[in-house]
Amino acid sequence: MIADRLADLGADRVFGVVGDALNPITDAIRTTEGTDWTAFPHEEAAAFAAGAWPRRSG
């Protein structure tokens, strides 16, 4: 449901942390057509990347 809603909102890339508890969510995002998952080891790095992505990609 989360992955489908993100796709409905137009999210083409999702930045996040990896972890056992999050695996079902990250797998759903990775397998949703049109949405890419980018994993980071730290929340801060994911937040910086998410903030920089629109500036770099237009």
Q: Which amino acid is at 14?
A: V
Structure tokens at 42: 């730290």
If you search the block for the tokens 């237009």, which residue do you land on?
Answer: 58
Report the pLDDT value the prediction gives residue 19, as an integer from 0 to 100: 86
Rounded to two decimals, what is the model's pTM?
0.78
In angstroms, rounded to a whole number, what is the distance separating the alpha carbons of residues 33 and 52?
A: 23
Q: Give the SS3 label for residue 47.
A: helix
Domain range enclosing 44? 2-57
Report the pLDDT value the prediction gives residue 5, as an integer from 0 to 100: 93
Structure tokens at 19: 């972890």
Q: For the chain (length 58 residues), average pLDDT per consecutive 10?
A: 91 90 91 91 94 86
Distance (Å) of CA 41 to CA 8, 44, 45, 47? 27, 9, 8, 11
Report the pLDDT value the prediction gives residue 58, as an integer from 0 to 100: 73
Q: List beta partners, residue 13.
A: 36
Total tally of structural domains belonging to the chain: 1
